[in-house]
Amino acid sequence: MKIGLGLYRESLNDDNFRFAAQAGATHIVAHLTSYLSSSGPSLSRGSENEGWGDCSTDELWSFEEMSGLVSQARSHGLEIAALENFSPKFWSDILLDGPAKSAQMDGLKRLVRDAGRAAIPCIGYNFSIAGVWGWTRGPMSRAGAVSVGFDGSKVDLNSPLPDGIVWNMRYREGNPHAVPIKVTNEQIWERLTWFLNELVPVAEEAGVRLAAHPDDPPVDAMRGAARLVNQPHKYNRLLDIKDSPANSTELCLGSLQEMTEGDVYQTIRDIARRDRIGYIHFRNVKGKVPDYVETFIDDGDLDMVEVVRILREENFEGVMVPDHTPELVCSAPWHAGMAYALGYMRALVNTAHLLGPSTK
């Protein structure tokens, strides 16, 4: 098992690469989409209704950009484990089944081929229309650490998605007269199937794994659109669409634990045994849908020692990153939260051989 750190676009700089290496990480998961209008790494992300930011002028990431990132990371002794999330601009019509979907797919194929040439082995994606929405943020974690949570009684899940927004970002100007979108469960799975059938063969050839993040929050539907992987068994459905290592998971332990059905430990074991883990979001949480709070990794409902035992038993050799984590009160809240998580993860991984067999 290897330890990595996820970095947002604004944080992809030499200081943070050094920070990651100093904290014992060997890998970086890089976000190339600029989600925020502000520049600091944080859990607070713009307006919930208008989206986090505007990606309408985003251009497909080039080979040079990706290969430059790999070189910059290597200059600090780090490897890029994955890119996380396509810009919504790249695949808005693939998610929404719009007229540009074939042209956008051509773009994604080029991007995946270029990522492979640049030695980026994995791309994480979140096949979701409403995206990450409905969180509240506040001093909800241990001793008042600032974290995010979800309280279904305080969120109007039916509030329509503003036109021109998909997956939390504005990808084009909105039409005030547009009819709010409605996407059924059947439709979202059809769209995912088309996406995988088109892109997985290209990814396979390019030596790139596509890795699906589950829905966050994992409710049934949100803002007019059905959710996709909102129960653990739906990960199997996704993996069965294309039987290929290039069709993998961005295994988010926190999102799995938030789900109302299934056995998280068995799910982790099954997916690890199938060798379909692109990388892991090592995150913990208290509660489940419709009411949960993100916690420090040692303070939630999921037994992280047990998770590491299972991963070791299934010979998982890949990368895990902290995902989001509560912030610590100090002058560098995000960095302190990440350093805490990385130290804890490193201790677990370095002593995994002493942890004994899994009890699940």
| Angle of the 304-313 helix axis to the 264-273 helix axis, nearest 10 | 20
The interface with Mn ion within residues 277-306 (CB under 5 A) comprises 281
Binding mask 216-255 for Mn ion (x = CB under 5 A): ------------------------------------x---
Minimum CB distance to Mn ion, residue 324 (Å): 7
Q: Closer to Mn ion by CB, 101 or 234: give it.
A: 234
Minimum CB distance to Mn ion, residue 47 (Å): 22
Q: What angle do CA 346, 233, 104 make, to 5 degrees?
A: 85
Among 54, 294, 314, 323, binds Mn ion (CB under 5 A): 323
| Angle of the 14-22 helix axis to the 333-350 helix axis, nearest 10 | 40
Give CA–CA dist 34/52, Å, rounded.
9
Q: Closer to Mn ion by CB, 258 or 323: give it.
A: 323
Q: Closer to Mn ion by CB, 324 or 335: give it.
A: 324
**Peptide bond preceding 217 in cis form (omega within 30 of 0):** yes
**Peptide bond preceding 176 in cis form (omega within 30 of 0):** no
Q: Closer to Mn ion by CB, 105 or 252: give it.
A: 252
Nearest residue to Mn ion on Cβ basis = 252
Minimum CB distance to Mn ion, residue 252 (Å): 3
Give CA–CA dist 197/73, Å, rounded.
32
Q: Closer to Mn ion by CB, 198 or 301: give it.
A: 301
- Candidate segments 85-93, 200-208, 223-231, 274-282, binder of Mn ion by CB under 5 A: 274-282
Contacts of 359 (CB under 8 A, 6+ apart): 306, 309
The interface with Mn ion within residues 325-344 (CB under 5 A) comprises none
Total binding residues toward Mn ion, as defined by CB under 5 A: 3
Minimum CB distance to Mn ion, residue 146 (Å): 18
Task: Tokens 């096949």: give the residue.
Answer: 127
Minimum CB distance to Mn ion, residue 269 (Å): 19
Contacts of 251 (CB under 8 A, 6+ apart): 268, 271, 277, 278, 279, 280, 281
Give the CA dihedral 305, 234, 272, 285, nearest 10 degrees: -20
Altogether, the residues listed in the chain come to a count of 360
Task: Tokens 């050094």: give the residue.
Answer: 18
Q: Closer to Mn ion by CB, 202 or 297: give it.
A: 297
Q: Closer to Mn ion by CB, 314 or 323: give it.
A: 323
Contact flag: residue 101 with Mn ion (CB under 5 A) = no
Interface residue list for Mn ion (CB under 5 A): 252, 281, 323
